[in-house]
Amino acid sequence: MSAQLARPHILDPHGALDPCATCEARPVSVCNAIADTDLGRLAAIAVVTETEPGQCFIDEGEPANSFFNITAGTAKLFKLLPDGRRQITGFVGAGHFLGLAVSDTYAFSAEAIERVRFCRFQRSKLRMLLDDFPLMEKRLLEVAANELVAAQEQMLLLGRKTARERLASFLLLQSRQGMPCGHSRRRFSLPMTRSDIADYLGLTIETVSRTLTKLRSEGLIDVVSQAEIIVRNPSGLEGLAGGLC
Amino acid sequence: MSAQLARPHILDPHGALDPCATCEARPVSVCNAIADTDLGRLAAIAVVTETEPGQCFIDEGEPANSFFNITAGTAKLFKLLPDGRRQITGFVGAGHFLGLAVSDTYAFSAEAIERVRFCRFQRSKLRMLLDDFPLMEKRLLEVAANELVAAQEQMLLLGRKTARERLASFLLLQSRQGMPCGHSRRRFSLPMTRSDIADYLGLTIETVSRTLTKLRSEGLIDVVSQAEIIVRNPSGLEGLAGGLC
DNA sequence: CGGTCACTTGATCGTCTTCAATACCAGTGG
DNA sequence: CCACTGGTATTGAAGACGATCAAGTGACCG
């Protein structure tokens, strides 16, 4: 018998540390639908992985063998046109579940912006697990429903809002990122580049840059550094964004 | 005792005709996750309703008390900006389930294009029912996942495609409407107006009209009547649409 | 036959894109 | 310490695509 580490109370039956029990993303993730006592089963099929910034960990069109659950860092999801035009469909952080599509290939690509850590689940294994934990399936449905609402909001932005309105909406969204519902930060930093913002808002980097400058000159925001934003006039921004809920 | 109607074999225990057993939308709807023997419970909480074209049956921002399941006709889903700009997020037909949002108010409005028939379910009642039929919850998750994929495709369209490409994508989508996966019709009719198409594609009616004329003059399509389209060159359209899966 | 409504077509305009130059910043090596 | 480099962001000028404004067409209907 090999030497045991300390803290045997968080060892699972196989003698390894249970990563799920101590996972900092659990409170904000679908995993919280699984009781502590059953957490070992989830941990048993989770493969924790880390990626460097700029690294792609999901490729549109490839066979969809895995589900993913982000536990740290930020990634961008995007779709490409044959000629290289790109649409970023979302920025995802800790707690976000990926790969829900029913199709047998991924419908989008995912690339790490910051260093990203995630759990990878083999689809077939997770599906079996879900059969035993209907509560988690319920949570997934909730999550999917919320994402659908967000997607519709983004369609409104892309189809009908001006560049100014898009930037205002985007900045407000970022200021609420990770905050409890109804709250926001006045000061926050953007982990993504201007190019990412442009491809998320259906604009060019030049228009993003120009519009940010304009918003700054009007006193609505402050651009402390390239990545650092301060919202000077939240209600003004909200007015511009046009009733983003 | 009151007089009985004929066809007693499709009477449910309460003596009313079971609408679900004979529903023509059932094969294409989430209801097919419920076994024939349990169908009475679903029918018991379904309120069948019909709406005239142009009538709104879901209003964005109103308390979300009901789920809906379209059984006939076509409706448009849309969001509005305070100044009246509109983005149509989808056209939905028989089998489509509405109201999945977790929020306590609707995130979009729905208006009948053709005469629409749907089942209305009180949210609380359907939620209780779902607890007893996890298979239906599974189906809902599948449906939501598929809609999410479609929404991302639409974001790509709205954010990065030109007017020509948007029309091409839209026409291909319509030509596949209601067809088994991988199939499409060469000839089909559009139930919606140019204004609806414009608000779905993030364009104006003038641009939609002009672009259709252009596609016709190039021999890609034929516009038989205002509502009737024939695809003359499917692969040409697909090339334009740019890899719509 | 006049009215309405949806659609089409034309002319002009404006927002955002494209192309191009410049600024900024961190890292590297002389 | 300072030039050099590569990547990212900003700013400027010109151009294009789609929007806006406006007029005309055709179908349907009372």
Instruction: Say whether the CB atom of A203 is under 7 angstroms from strand C.
Output: yes
Quick one: B148 and B175 in the same domain? no
Interface of A with B in 127-146 (CB under 8 A): 134, 137-138, 140-142, 144-146
Give the domain-ending residue among A126, A153, A180.
Answer: A153
For residue B2, being part of any structural domain is answered with no
Q: Which domain holds residue B210?
A: 162-241
Is residue B116 domain-shared with residue B229, that is, in the same domain? no
Query: Does B239 lie at the interface with A, CB-CB under 8 angstroms?
Result: no
Of B153, B188, B208, the one marking the end of a domain is B153
Q: Is the model's pLDDT at A220 over the cut of 60? A: yes
Domain count for chain B: 2
- B12 interfaces chain A, CB cutoff of 8 Å: no
Does residue B110 lie within 7 Å of nucleic acid chain C, judged by its CB? Answer: no
In this predicted structure, what is the pLDDT of residue B15? 47
**Is residue B3 in some structural domain?**
no
Protein CB footprint (7 Å) on chain C nucleotides: 6-11, 15-20
Inside any domain, residue A2? no
Is residue A34 located within the same domain as residue A146? yes
Long-range contacts of A23-26 (CB under 8 A, 24+ apart): A23/A71, A24/A71, A24/A72, A24/A94, A25/A69, A25/A70, A25/A71, A25/A72, A25/A94, A25/A95
Q: Look at A152 and B147 and tell me if their CB atoms are within 8 Å.
A: no
Residue A3 lies in a domain: no
Reported as type and span, the H/E element at residue B91 is strand B86-92
Asked whether residue B114 falls in the same domain as residue B196, the answer is: no
pLDDT score recorded for residue B93: 95
Q: Are residues A171 and A125 in the same domain?
A: no
List, in sequence order, every residue forming a beta bridge with A70; answer none if it has no partner.
A118
- In this complex, is the C-beta atom of A151 within 8 Å of any C-beta atom belonging to chain B? yes
* Angle at which helices A234-241 and A163-176 cross, to 10°: 130
Same domain assignment for residues B144 and B197: no
Structure tokens at A174: 């970022």
Mean pLDDT by 10 residues, chain B (245 residues): 41 57 90 89 92 95 96 97 97 94 92 95 93 92 96 98 98 94 94 98 98 97 95 96 67
Residue B5 has a pLDDT of: 39
| DSSP category for residue A27 | G
For strand D, is any atom closer than 7 Å to the CB of B209? no
Report if residue A228 sits inside a domain: yes
Nucleotides of chain D touched by protein CB (<7 A): 8-13, 17-22
Q: What is the pLDDT of residues A18-54, one digit of tens each?
A: 778 888 899 999 989 998 888 889 999 999 999 999 9
Q: Where are the alpha helices (DSSP H) in B110-204?
A: 123-132, 134-160, 163-176, 194-201
Let me know if residue B21 belongs to a domain: yes
Asked if strand C contacts A206 at the CB level, meaning under 7 A, the answer is yes
Shared domain for A136 and A199, answered yes or no, is no
One domain for residues B112 and B14: yes
Q: How confident is the model at residue A181 (pLDDT cuts 50, 70, 90)?
A: confident
What's the CATH number where A34 sits? 2.60.120.10
- At A17 the pLDDT is 58
From B101, B128, B153, give the residue that closes a domain: B153
Predicted local confidence at residue B243, as pLDDT: 62
Which pLDDT tens digit goes with each residue over A124-161?
A: 999 999 999 999 999 999 999 999 999 999 999 999 99
Q: How far apart (Å, rounded) are the C-alpha atoms in residues B148 and B135?
A: 20
pLDDT of residue A15: 47
Burial code (b: 16+ CB inside 10 Å, e: under 16) for A126-159 equals: beebbeebeebbbbbbbbbbbbbbbbbbbbbbbb
Instruction: Spell out which residues of chain B touch residue A153, defining contact as CB-CB under 8 Å.
Output: 79, 107
Q: Are B221 and B147 within one domain? A: no
Total beta-carbon pairs less than 8 A apart between chain A and chain B: 126
Angle ∠(B36,B42,B47) on CA atoms, nearest 5: 130
Amino acid sitting at position B243: G
Residue B106 burial class via C-beta count within 10 angstroms: exposed 0-12, middle 13-18, buried 19 and up: buried
Is B222 contained in some domain? Answer: yes
Q: Which of B79, B103, B153 sits opposite A156 (nearest CB)?
A: B79
pLDDT of residue A21: 85
Are A15 and A110 in the same domain?
A: yes
Same domain, B114 and B80: yes
Rounded distance between C-alpha atoms, residue B200 and residue B89, angstroms: 6
Rounded Cα gap, residues A104 and B179, in angstroms = 20
B22–A contact, CB cutoff 8 A: no
Q: Could you tell me if residue B1 is inside a domain?
A: no
B29 and B119 both lie in a single domain: yes
Q: Which of B102, B137, B138 sits opposite A146 (nearest CB)?
A: B102
CATH number at residue A220: 1.10.10.10
> What's the CA gap between B156 and A134, in Å, rounded?
33
Distance CA(A50)–CA(A115), nearest Å, equals 7
